[in-house]
Structure 1
Amino acid sequence: MDTITILDSHRCHLGEGPCYDPRTGTAWWVDILERHLFETPLQDGTSRRHSLPFMASAVAAVDETRHLLAAEDGLYLRRLGDGELELFCPLEPEDAGTRSNDGRVHPSGALWISTMGRGAEPGRGAIYHVAGTRVTRLYGSFTIPNAICFSPDGATGYFADTDAGLLQRVSLDPRTGLPTGVPSTLYDHRGGEGGLDGAAVDAEGRIWCTRWGASCIDAYSPEGERVRTVPLPVTRPSCPTFAGPDLDRLLITSAYEGMSRDERDADPEHGRTLLVTAGVRGLLEPAFRLAP
């Protein structure tokens, strides 16, 4: 039976980008719109909220003293000890109308990171490959690029445009995380309830994708079959990652962005961050390599 607990009682306006640090047993995630970074040890659940000077959308490990934040104008290194920030690499510096969105580190240590219009304007989103400070644009013309994740062997990448409703897959060079083929549709969600949002891959290669607006997370096989749906106590789940000493829990952020007062009243856990035990084991997210 699936077990769901509230990891943190803070309500995120737009919770996103979770990351788990196995050395300290700590979960990290952000509230994009409120410019907050959350830090919560799973053992005691005592959360700390850090203010940020920018909107950040994703957290990735780097080393024992630093992690990486994807922010509205670039990628920043943040020191764990004192929170000091250093711009590592600009991202779309010529366009103040976009911000970072979904991202994952490939097994090679390269980062895939997406951007989108601040008002989710159609066609303004893109996905980039970042190796060290070398930024390569992979795909464009998205509205809300999401669901970035990778197969355990690094040979397949997955992504979606929430607005388009198509979960895509593409062959990758496992050594670099760069595409070697043309994307194709893995699952067609057009006309389905809710929208494809953030995703993570488990140890068996299944893609676990939150469904924004539909109160659930779905698992898809590498062949494109939706094999499981886990109901969640939040209407707008946003992004998962695997957490815990055995990586057997899904850490899932959520949001209340765009919800009316009546909608929030009908969703008493809106914006909370969840831990879900669903009988599967995941993969530890790789650390971002500072040098290619």
Structure 2
Amino acid sequence: MDVLDHRICELGEGVLWHPLREELFWFDITGKRLLSHHPATGHTRAVPLTEMCSAAAWIDHDHLLVASETGLWTYDVGTGDFGHLADLEADNPATRSNDGRADPWGGFWIGTMGKNAEPGAGAIYRYFGGELRKIADGISIPNALCFDEGRGCGYFADTDARLLFRVPLDKAGWPTDAPEVFVDFTHAGLSPDGAVTDAAGTLWVALWGAGAVIEVSPDGTLGARHELAAPHATCPAFGGPEFTTLYCTSATQGLGAGALAEAPLSGALFAQPGAGQGKAEPAFKLDTGDA
């Protein structure tokens, strides 16, 4: 993968291809910035934020749903205005949001974690139809929130535990049973970070510490790796006019001077055209959330 955007993030995360704007949005969580890049024009923006934000979904051409350390918000791309939707552990200053993604029903899944990655301090919530409901807890670093093509299950990871989970979903997108381990990455010595599913249901999982995005088949088989020149790959996304370009954020967090000298592109945004066949992310629905 090659660098698309050289702006360095301490903790790049949450890359989203907006299908109507054909524009990428992502966050530097600890740097408190919302970044964007329009590949066709080269136009970029960097929006300073008042608190840590980590993930987004698109609502319409001009609005995003943004997850922050205290809540879920609407964001007007044109005016820069934020509107409050729901509190997200706003009474707990020790936690922040992390990975998040819109689901196929128009809801939004979002993980929380301790600001110092305290063991078991995190949880996963779903916001749907105006309701924020906790669907998993006791998680250290929630990541890899994504969904299979047939709407039958969702996925999430605990990066600290090196486990990728699968959870069955009902026709409205709510879990019907406890999550089960889908892939145990400990045997491969890998740490799963963000993930996205492609048009065939294959998961593309960023590997924190391994400098790659790895394909994982719907039956849990590890496949091809897509390398990038940054050890901390954080979040993949498909985009481009045909959804065939793989994008991935990265981070400098936790890398010493020696590691940064060896990987000076750490923290940049990477791209690989023709990597696979992705699909558009579903929109988040501000109304009742009915599919």
Amino acid at match of 1:287: A
Q: Which runs of 5+ in 1 are unaligned?
A: none
Write the distance in 2 (CA, Å) between the matches of 1:279 and 1:242.
9
Residue 54 (structure 1) aligned to one of 26, 46, 51: 51
Contact 2:19–2:281, Cα closer than 8 Å, also in 1: no
Give runs of aligned pairs for residues 145-184 of structure 1, distance below 5 A. 145-173=142-170, 175-184=171-180
1:191: Cα distance to partner? Answer: 4.2
Amino acid at match of 2:68: A
Match of 1:45 in 2: 42
Range that drifts further, 149-158 or 186-195: 186-195
Matched, 1:35 2:29: no
Contact 1:7–1:45, Cα closer than 8 Å, also in 2: no
Residue 280 (structure 1) aligned to one of 270, 276, 282: 276
Range that drifts further, 202-211 or 39-48: 39-48
Contact 2:123–2:142, Cα closer than 8 Å, also in 1: yes
TM-score (norm 2): 0.96
Match of 1:204 in 2: 200
SS in 1 for 2:89: coil
TM-score (norm 1): 0.96
Match of 2:188 in 1: 192
Contact 2:72–2:87, Cα closer than 8 Å, also in 1: yes
Amino acid at match of 1:117: G
Write the distance in 1 (CA, Å) between the matches of 2:148 and 2:74.
26
Match of 1:271 in 2: 267
Contact 1:193–1:213, Cα closer than 8 Å, also in 2: no
Contact 2:159–2:191, Cα closer than 8 Å, also in 1: yes
Write the distance in 1 (CA, Å) between the matches of 2:127 and 2:178.
19
Contact 1:162–1:195, Cα closer than 8 Å, also in 2: yes
Write the distance in 2 (CA, Å) between the matches of 1:53 and 1:93.
14
Write the distance in 2 (CA, Å) between the matches of 1:63 and 1:277.
26
Match of 1:102 in 2: 99
Write the distance in 1 (CA, Å) between the matches of 2:167 and 2:159.
17
Amino acid at match of 2:186: R
Residue 210 (structure 2) aligned to one of 187, 207, 214: 214
Task: Summarize deviations over 1:56-90 as a string: whole Å, max 9, x none.
Answer: 00021011221111000000111111101111111
SS in 2 for 1:47: strand
Matched, 1:11 2:8: yes
Give runs of aligned pairs for residues 59-78 of structure 1, distance below 5 A. 59-78=56-75
Contact 1:121–1:143, Cα closer than 8 Å, also in 2: yes
Task: Summarize deviations over 1:213-265 as a string: whole Å, max 9, x none.
Answer: 00111111111101211121111110011110000011100000011111111
Amino acid at match of 1:210: A
Write the distance in 1 (CA, Å) between the matches of 2:273 and 2:183.
25
SS in 2 for 1:190: helix
Write the distance in 1 (CA, Å) between the matches of 2:42 and 2:8.
15
Contact 1:110–1:176, Cα closer than 8 Å, also in 2: no
1:187: Cα distance to partner? Answer: 0.9
Contact 1:254–1:271, Cα closer than 8 Å, also in 2: yes
Identical residues among aligned pairs (%)? 38
Matched, 1:236 2:236: no
1:54: Cα distance to partner? Answer: 1.1
Q: Report how many aligned residue pairs link the two structures.
A: 288
Contact 1:237–1:253, Cα closer than 8 Å, also in 2: yes
Range that drifts further, 277-286 or 126-135: 277-286
Write the distance in 2 (CA, Å) between the matches of 1:181 and 1:98.
26
Matched, 1:124 2:144: no
Task: Summarize deviations over 1:64-117 as a string: whole Å, max 9, x none.
Answer: 221111000000111111101111111112211110001111100011100000
Matched, 1:251 2:244: no
Write the distance in 1 (CA, Å) between the matches of 2:258 and 2:111.
32
Write the distance in 2 (CA, Å) between the matches of 1:112 and 1:154.
14
Contact 2:6–2:268, Cα closer than 8 Å, also in 1: yes
SS in 1 for 2:43: coil
